Structure 1
């Protein structure tokens, strides 16, 4: 099992590249906001229960995917509410069942990030969607997180999402699944 762990700052193209990667590999996509939206429906962002439950949700999914030998794509925005132990716990959850975590950093310049942050789809997805909020997030140390070792770095300004996904497949030697992931199979 391979966990393709895409990470980078807000508006670097994580979800866009992840969707292209899922289309090329047929791997399921478990993006950051699935867990975040679930826990913040009940507990405020940054609260102790939200932080604890989000990590539990992420790690449980990784471990079960590894247990089932199910490759997975995950998107992650490093920020200060995520426990420093999260990367080590992710490795343990996956590697404990014979899997591998492949870290792909998506990079973008601060100027391009500022330009992209106001894309209308970001607001619809409840992501940081204004320059003012992004500035406050940066200035307040919101993006502070220990360095994550990258197996691959992709410049999302230099490569379109399709090309970035193709570069990830080639560099990491990803083998596509024979069938696409289906969230809700048709009953027979």
Structure 2
């Protein structure tokens, strides 16, 4: 079992890279908006109810996959490195998969802001993330997050053995997926 956590700021390409990695490996993609979009039909993700349901669905899927015979899973996650709760969440998910014998891999993507603002409008993103279709709202949230959260790690902050950081500003999703596959022998 392999578990690949892809993290990075909004519109950095987590889902698109995950789609490509799933295409070239036997890994299944579980991008974070799969649960957010489901729950958004009932409760906004920013509400107590919305967060509880998203976390509940994710946990159930993680447990079933960790206990399965699947080759593995890719999960995309927006990790605020300045929030202890996000570190705790990553630790919890890691421990779940490692307790079942899985190898956990961490991929951090970074892209300059101008490119992220362009990617925020991409057809693939808007197709799979209906809540992002209000571009003005989505762009404002992206910019506001710069003021309250640090969505990329500091140099040396992450010391997991199976970790790589990729600046994919000028790299295609296919190229990034191939770099991940090769580095971790997936």
Q: TM-score, normalised by structure 2?
A: 0.80
Say which SS state the counterpart of residue 89 (structure 1) adopts: helix
Structure 1 regions of 5+ residues with no counterpart?
175-188
Q: CA deviation at 1:170?
A: 0.3
Is the 1:31–1:73 Cα contact (8 Å) retained in structure 2? yes
Q: Deviations over 1:28-76 (max 9, x none)?
A: 1111111111222222222112212212222221222111132011111
Distance, in Å, in 2 between the alignment partners of 1:81 and 1:60 is: 24
Q: What residue number does 1:33 align with?
A: 33
Range with greater deviation from structure 2 (10-19 or 149-158)? 149-158
Q: Aligned to 1:155, which of 152, 167, 170? A: 167
**SS in structure 2 of the partner of residue 45 of structure 1:** coil
Task: Assess, with a 3 A threshold, how the Cα gap between structure 1 residues 82 and 146 changes in structure 2: closer, same or farther.
Answer: farther
Q: Distance in 2 between matches of 1:116 and 1:66?
A: 32
**Unmatched tracts of structure 2, length 5 or more:** none
Q: Is 1:172 paired with 2:172?
A: no
Contact 1:7 1:106 in 2 (8 A): yes
Mapping 1:81-96, distance limit 5 Å: 83-84=85-86, 85-96=88-99
CA distance in 2, matches of 1:10, 1:145: 9
Shift of 1:121: 4.1
Deviations 1:111-156 (A, max 9, x none): 22123223344344223734334223333x2x45695836011221
1:5 and 1:23 map into 2 onto residues whose CA distance is 16
Across the two proteins, how many residue pairs are aligned to each other?
172
Change (3 A) 1:123 1:146: closer
Higher helix share: 2
Instruction: State the TM-score, normalized to the length of structure 1.
Output: 0.79
